[in-house]
Chain A
C-alpha cells in the first residue's frame, strides 16, 4: 500500500495519514463486529448501517476496494440479504490486518 501517494492525495503528510489509518482500523474492527452481530441475529439493518460506516471511511482514505466491498454489503443488507457475508467480512478483515501491520 503506497501510503505516501494516498497521503499526498489528501494533502496531508505520511505521519498524519498513518494516524488516520490506525483510527480507521479501530473503527472498522468495531463495525465488522456489528456486522457479525447483525448476521447472527439476522438483523440486516444493523449490518447495513455498519457497512455504510466502513464504506464512507474507506472511501475517504482512498481504500477503494474495501469501500466497494462495503458498498456491496450495504446494498445487499438494505435489500434484506445477508448471504455470503462471512466471506465478505473475512475479506475486509484480511485487508484491515494488512493495514494494521504496515
Chain B
C-alpha cells in the first residue's frame, strides 16, 4: 500500500531543514538520526561559530533543532540507524535499528542527508605529523578549543605566539585520491584566523594556501577583514613538512610569490582538513542502490540544474552526502529535495 510519509535520513542541518520544509507544507515526515541527538556534524564536532557570519553554532543549530522537535507532522526518531530497504517510489519499506530493536518505516519517498566526515590527516602524503606532534591539530580540533574559549598549545597549555594554517589537507590531491576542492576550508580557516586574532591579539597568524577560494560574499565578509583588519598573513605556498625543533614546530615550504624557500617556526599548526563521504553516506547509498562517484559521494543526475535527484525514483540526496557543501548549499539543497520528494509522492499517491 502506498505511503504518504517522507523519510529523511540524517539529523544534521540538511536533514533538519528538509524535514522542517516538508512538515511546513503539510506533509508527513519521519526524521531518523543514528545519534541520540539532532545537530549533525556541527553539534558532534562542537563547532564554535558558523562561517561566514561567525554566529554561534550552538544557537543557530539549536534553532534548527527546535523547528523539528515536537512539531506536527514530524515523527522524530533518534538513536535510529537505517539498515535495509525494499519497495519502490510510493511504497518503500525501510528497515532500521532503533535503540537495538529492528523496526520498519513506511515511506513514499526518501531524502538522504547523511553528510560528510572530516578528512583524517593520518592519510596525508606530506609529512605534517598530525599523530606525532601535539601542536599539529586540525580545523576540527581548533574549533573545539575556540568553542571552549581556550586557544592554547596542546603540548604545554601556553598561549601561542605564531600559528599557521595549511590549506587543502586531504583535498585537491591526486595521490590521496580526493581531487575535489572541499569548498569550505578556506572560509573556515579565515574565520578561525580572525577568532584567534581576537582571543590572542599578539599572536601572528599565517595561512599557507594553493588558491584562496572565497566565493561570493565570503570575499568581503571574511577574506578582506581577515587580511585588512586582523592582519592575517596569506602566503601562497603549501608546506611540505613539519619538523620539531626544541619546543617549536618548523614548517618548511615555499613563499612562492616572493620566490624564496621558507622555514618558519610555529607554535601551533592547523591542518585545514577537507570533506569525505561519511560512513553513513556510503552505507545508505548501498542500501538504496544509489550510484556513488569515484570519491564515494552520492551521485545526483541533473548536473547543475538538479542537484538532488538520484538514479532511483523517489530517492533524493541533499547536502554533503552529494559532495563538499557549505551550510548555504546544505539548506538550499534540502529545500530542493523536500520539494521534489513531495512532488514524487503526489505523483505516486494522488491526493
Q: Do A and B come from one complex?
A: no
